[in-house]
């Protein structure tokens, strides 16, 4: 199928882009890499009178590494992030799991996070690392913590006239480990269930802080808060990964059932992914 007709706008600056969004309101949609939006338009699952292309704006591209944070322009392609492994290790490790390289060459960080697919890798990484989202509109700028950003199935705290401009990730110093694990039917497919783990330990291998993210297991990415709550101060050797996995998925209330399997199956897969990611992240932190 072909998309319904739309007017295409290619602003030269971000200021021009947000002015167009303010002018056209909910008849306009941002397009970045087009890797999620174009299929939806082509299948006529969505239709907009105006597309505002932010994909070429230099202001939205680039990776700035500071002492305590890494700020990444929302328009930075996934392929660029994949090549910048040192900047945010968990993000770089998640990237090869997104589709295929042709998709990552065009798909952007901001597009994936703004699209907010509950089975996508980047939203779960942003949540796990407590990233900060900077939104810009004609009215100004505001910052939205990842914990408040994902509001439902494919929906976010962004207003129709706001562009996600930057995503800022805290740098985790010291002895750290990061891992992402997912199960998909074929390489390049969205995950049936997946997990992210970030961990920091002290010199005695006691857990200073950790984040556990889940994807494919609800209507939004989730933090496994019950499992995390119990971990600070414990020796990593005392945590049983399989038990942790079961605890992490135990509180989930909206696990999807679909043609890939019932909710109970996804939960079991999710628990196994948490256990696997935990083992890998701990091994890295112990050796680090």
Ligand X SMILES: Cc1cc2nc3c(=O)[nH]c(=O)nc-3n(C[C@H](O)[C@H](O)[C@H](O)COP(=O)(O)OP(=O)(O)OC[C@H]3O[C@@H](n4cnc5c(N)ncnc54)[C@H](O)[C@@H]3O)c2cc1C
Contact pick of 9, 29, 93, 267 for ligand X (by CB under 6 A):
29
Q: Are 113 and 167 in contact (CB under 8 A)?
A: yes
Specify the 3-state DSSP secondary structure of 133: strand
Subset of residues 70 to 89 that bind ligand X, contact rule: CB under 6 A: 74
By the rule CB under 6 A, 216 interacts with ligand X: no
Strand, coil or helix: 70:
strand
Q: How far is the CB of 94 from ligand X (least distance, A)?
A: 8
We find the least distance from the C-beta atom of residue 241 to ligand X, in angstroms, to be 25
Would you say 111 or 241 has its CB closer to ligand X? 111
Is 94 in contact with 78 (CB distance < 8 Å)? no
Stretch that binds ligand X, among 100-108, 138-146, 216-224, 242-250 (CB under 6 A): 100-108
User: Judged by CB under 6 A, which of 63, 80, 95, 115 binds ligand X?
Assistant: 115
Which residues are bridge partners to 27 per DSSP? none
Q: Out of 98, 199, 236, 248, name the contact with ligand X by CB under 6 A.
A: 98
3-state DSSP call for residue 198?
Answer: strand
Question: Candidates 33-41, 201-209, 221-229, 268-276 — which segment interacts with ligand X by CB under 6 A?
Answer: 33-41
Give the count of residues interacting with ligand X (CB under 6 A). Answer: 32
Closest CA to 123 of 191, 210, 26: 191
> x/- string (CB under 6 A) for ligand X, residues 155-194?
---x----xx-----------------------x-x----
Helical ranges in 71-171 per DSSP H? 78-83, 89-94, 101-106, 109-115, 121-128, 146-149
Please tell me the distance from the alpha carbon of residue 101 to that of residue 78, in angstroms, as a whole number. 9
Is the CB of 137 or the CB of 176 nearer to ligand X?
A: 137
Q: Are 127 and 221 in contact (CB under 8 A)?
A: yes
Using CA atoms, how far apart are residues 276 and 179, in angstroms rounded to an integer? 9
> Which range touches ligand X (CB under 6 A), out of 7-15, 103-111, 225-233, 241-249?
103-111
CA 172 to each of CA 78, 199, 230, 272: distance values in angstroms, whole numbers, following the listed order = 21, 9, 20, 25
Among 18, 21, 37, 198, binds ligand X (CB under 6 A): 37
Residue 39 sits in the site that holds ligand X (CB under 6 A)? yes
Residue 248 and residue 212 in contact, taking contact as beta carbons nearer than 8 Å: yes
Applying CB under 6 A, the residues found at the interface with ligand X are 29-37, 39, 54, 74, 98-99, 103, 106-108, 110-112, 114-115, 117, 120-122, 158, 163-164, 188, 190
């Amino acid at each position: 199928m072909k998309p319904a007709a739309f007017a295409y706008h290619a602003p030269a600056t971000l200021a021009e882009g947000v002015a167009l969004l303010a002018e056209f309101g909910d008849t306009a949609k941002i397009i970045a890499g087009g890797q999620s939006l174009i299929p939806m338009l082509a299948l006529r699952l969505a239709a907009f009178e105006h597309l505002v292309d932010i994909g070429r704006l230099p202001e939205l591209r680039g990776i700035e590494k500071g002492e305590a944070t890494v700020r990444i322009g929302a328009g930075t392609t996934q392929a660029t992030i994949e090549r910048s492994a040192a900047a945010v290790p968990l993000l770089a490790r998640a990237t090869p799991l997104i589709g295929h390289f042709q998709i990552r060459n065009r798909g952007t960080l901001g597009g994936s996070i703004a699209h907010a697919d509950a089975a996508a890798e980047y939203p779960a990484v942003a949540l796990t690392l407590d990233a900060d989202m900077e939104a810009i509109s004609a009215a100004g700028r505001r910052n939205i913590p990842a914990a408040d950003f994902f509001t439902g199935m494919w929906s976010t705290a962004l207003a129709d006239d706001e562009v996600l401009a930057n995503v800022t990730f805290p740098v985790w110093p010291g002895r750290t480990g990061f891992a992402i694990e997912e199960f998909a039917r074929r390489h390049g497919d969205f995950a049936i269930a997946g997990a992210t783990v970030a961990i920091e330990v002290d010199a005695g291998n006691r857990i200073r802080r950790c984040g556990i993210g889940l994807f494919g297991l609800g209507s939004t990415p989730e933090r496994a808060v019950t499992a995390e709550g119990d971990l600070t101060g414990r020796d990593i050797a005392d945590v049983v990964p399989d038990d942790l996995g079961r605890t992490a998925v135990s509180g989930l209330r909206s696990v999807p059932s679909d043609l890939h399997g019932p909710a109970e199956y996804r939960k079991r897969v999710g628990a196994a992914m948490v256990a696997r990611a935990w083992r890998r992240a701990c091994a890295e932190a112990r050796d680090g």
